[in-house]
Amino acid sequence: MAFLTGRCMCEAVTWTYSGDITRNLVCYCADCQRATSAPLTAFLGMRPEQLSWSGDIRHYESSPDTFRGFCPSCGTRLYFRSDRWPHEIHVHAATMTNPDDYQPDAQVFMPSRVKWLDRLPTIPTHDGFQQRPSGPPAHRTALRSG
Ligand SMILES: [Zn+2]
Ligand SMILES: [Zn+2]
């Protein structure tokens, strides 16, 4: 039994959940990549009847009877649900009030995982943005105006 809360970026939409978490999965499927503009998506499986929302929510029907909810003000993705699994809704873990509380226990759709994720441990890291882009000045100008 968990008690969790969450919100979108602009805080127009909030959610509260009191119930069992049915899944903690990280999804690499191509649809989630497109829908979230991100290489991976983390979900919390919840019972719809124990989840309450406040605020205006829109959804996109990404495949027949499958819906992806989002905040119409800020665009934050909120959930995935499908009529194929009526007793479960997948809420985006990144919307949790404390996203660090998330504990994934499964990774799914591994064949569509983008290959560059494997390189992350070897790529230079920074606490904030890099100080300046690399490359000659002319190249930087072209990037800015593009
Ligand atoms: Zn919002
Ligand atoms: Zn997916």
Q: Give residue-wise pLDDT tens across range 9-63.
A: 999 999 999 999 999 999 999 999 999 999 999 999 999 999 999 999 999 999 9
Q: Do strands 58-63 and 41-46 pair parallel, antiparallel, or not at all (unpaired)?
A: unpaired
Query: What is the Cα–Cα distance from 70 to 41, expressed in whole angstroms?
Result: 14
d(CA 72, ligand 2 centre) in Å = 21
Nearest ligand, CA 68? 2
Q: Which residues on adjacent β-strands are paired with residue 67?
A: 61, 81
**What does the domain layout of the chain look like in residue ranges?**
2-117
**Residue range 50-65, pLDDT digits in tens:** 999 999 999 999 999 9
Evaluate if pTM is beyond 0.75.
yes
d(CA 77, ligand 2 centre) in Å = 13
For 2-117, CATH number out of 3.90.730.10, 2.40.320.10, 3.40.50.720, 2.170.150.70 equals: 2.170.150.70
Query: Is 14 in contact with 53 (CB distance < 8 Å)?
Result: yes
pLDDT, position 26: 98
d(CA 111, ligand 1 centre) in Å = 32
**Residue range 84-142, pLDDT digits in tens:** 999 999 999 999 999 999 999 999 999 999 999 999 999 999 999 877 766 676 555 55
Question: Which protein residues have a CB closer than 5 Å to ligand 1 (ion)?
Answer: 8, 10, 12, 71, 73-74
